[in-house]
Structure formats: structure tokens, C-alpha cells
Amino acid sequence: MKLIVDRLHVTLDRNPILRDVSLEVREGDVVGLVGPNGSGKSTLLRTVYRSLRPADGVVRVGGDDVWELSPRAAARRTAAVLQDTGGSTTGLTVTEIVALGRAPHHGLLGRDGAEDREAVSDAVDRCGVRPFADRDYASLSGGERQRVLLARALAQKPRLLVLDELTNHLDIRARFELLDLIRATGVTTLAVLHDLDLAARLCDHLVVLCGGTVAAAGPVLKVLSPDLLATVFGVQARTERHADGIIRITYAARPLARDGGAGHGGAGDGRAEDGDHTCPATGAADGRGGARKPPAVSQDDGGRSTASTT
């Protein structure tokens, strides 16, 4: 199912967080949302999974405005997997957690039917959590928990997956295993990722946010150019596809010197909020300064930054 974000504006506490953000994720694609800290990535995800209403613009899943759907109808289309805080003491088993994914289909107080049990069993198997299906969720490792949360999302039978920093705090093996699981689902996916190497490995296309605006969008090799890596992320690097088909990024030994902009690393000034800085790549300001002319971004005829440009 296709996701379209069209000219989205989000303001929090009278501060602009997202400005005229447009993107498209085509059915079956995995699109990575990357950018410095504070660039608006998590805020954008919140608008997509119907947690934060935008001030202007529209989010469409399968052609319908998500804010015109009922919460239950929206949840049947979109499943969100957020960061696990690690402090849960739910008292629920893994299977019970996964079964919560069926709530949009019959409500929390509804009785599970054969279709629900089949969906839960299938998700448990696909995500490899069967060996600890009867354990208390709180007793699991970080990687195991993330698998369970993904299984819960898949039990919803969504048409769109929204993932926020799913691989944070996982060891490298757990990261690769989780990314392989996501790719194997075949579900249209929009994922926030901080690790550019993992984003390049997982994603079909990338959307780069900086200063609350889209700095670039398109195929991984096209987007992660040396100029963009320098301007947005403050590093000297090159991106290339190796003989094994994996795209890898090679970084210089030292980052570029900061020039006072927060685009190089985002929250180096101690501010962690989305959209609280000016992006050197787009010139997008935070309301306290001027703006430079943004670079050209690949767009479709409707003005959307198309993450599926080839």
C-alpha cells in the first residue's frame, strides 16, 4: 500500500518542526528516513502513524487521509514499532504481547477467533520468537524484545510498517538479523535509522531530513553523495556498491570542522528536540535566522520528493 506525505507542516509550542515536507513510499518498498539529530524524523513518523496531527498538509495511506479514518481503521492499515525503553514489567508473555496486535480487528475486549490465532502464530514464527513464546516479555534481551514488537506489528496484518530507531542498543548480529526480518516481510516500510551503513544495507531508497525539510530523496547511491554527507552530516565519505551487492560507506578518519550550523550532528548544542536548528543543506531556519536557497531535490509532477526515483 502506497504512503504519500503531501506538503506537511508541523508546529509544536509555536515552533515550526516540519516545513512543507513531501515524500512518497511505493508499495513494497523499504524507505529510510535519515538525518541529523533534531531534524524532524520522529515527528514525521508520528504524523504518519496518527499520533500527531499536522498543522497543514496530508498523510495518505492507500489513498485515504489517515486523519479521516477511525483510529481502529487506521491501525488496521499502519503498524508502528517504536524504541523499546527496556523498563517494562508487564507480566505478559511473549505470545500475549504479540496477540495485542490483533486489537484493531476486534477491540481489546473482543474474543480471539481462528483468524486471530493464526495471525499470531504466523507472526511468532516469522520473527523467530517461538523458542521463548511462553516467557515473560520483561525477561527478554533487547534484541529479543525488538523481535517481539515486530511480531506484534505483523500480527496486525498491516499494509504499512513505521519503524523508529528499531536497531538502537542492539549488537551488530541482532541488528543484521532484525533488518533481514524487515526486508523479508514484503510490507511497505518507512524506517527512521541513525546508522547510515545500516540504512544503505536495508533500504531501497532514502529521504534525508535536515532542519525540518527534505534535503534529498531517491536511491541510496544517488542520495548519499560526498557533497550531501559533508553538508548535512559533517563528514568526508564516499559511498559505493561492492561486488557482493552491499552498499558501503567509507569515512575519512576525522569529521569536518563545525561551522556553527547544527546540521553536522544535530544536537551538539544539547538540544534534542526535532527541528530546532538551521540546516546548512537546505537553508531551512528555525524561526530565528535567515535561510539560504535549498539545493534541487528530485520531485514528481505533484511536487512530492519521491523516494522511489530511479
Q: What is the 3-state secondary structure (H, E, C) of 178-200?
A: HHHHHHHHCCEEEEECCCHHHHH
Distance CA 159, CA 76 (A): 8
Q: Letter for the amino acid at 203? A: C
Whole-structure pTM value: 0.83
pLDDT at residue 187 is higher than 90: yes
Distance CA 277, CA 212 (A): 8
Q: Around 152, how many Cα atoms within 13 Å sit in the side-chain half-sphere?
A: 25
- pLDDT of 211-237, one tens digit each? 999 999 999 999 999 999 999 999 999
pLDDT category, 130, cuts 50, 70, 90?
A: very high
Which pLDDT belongs to residue 302? 46
Percent of the chain with pLDDT over 70: 80
Which of 14-23, 25-34, 162-171 has the weakest average pLDDT? Answer: 162-171
Q: Answer for the pair 182, 163: CB distance below 8 angstroms, yes or no.
A: yes
Alpha-carbon dihedral 162, 165, 169, 172, rounded to 10 degrees: 80
pLDDT category, 284, cuts 50, 70, 90?
A: low
Distance CA 283, CA 247 (A): 29
Which residues, 6+ apart, have CB-to-CB distance to 168 below 8 Å? 83, 194
pLDDT category, 303, cuts 50, 70, 90?
A: very low
| pLDDT, mean over the chain | 83
Burial class (CB in 10 A: 0-12, 13-18, 19+), 24: buried
Q: Which three cell numbers stand for residue 90?
A: 508487564
Which domains occur in the chain, in start order? 3-62+164-306 (3.40.50.300), 86-158 (no CATH)
Report the relative pairing of strands 15-25 and 3-12 from DSSP bridges: antiparallel
Which pLDDT belongs to residue 283? 56
Going by C-alpha positions, the residue among 165, 132, 201, 136 that lies closest to residue 34 is 165
pLDDT category, 136, cuts 50, 70, 90?
A: very high
What values do phi and psi take at 31, rounded to 5?
-115, 130
Which pLDDT belongs to residue 286? 44
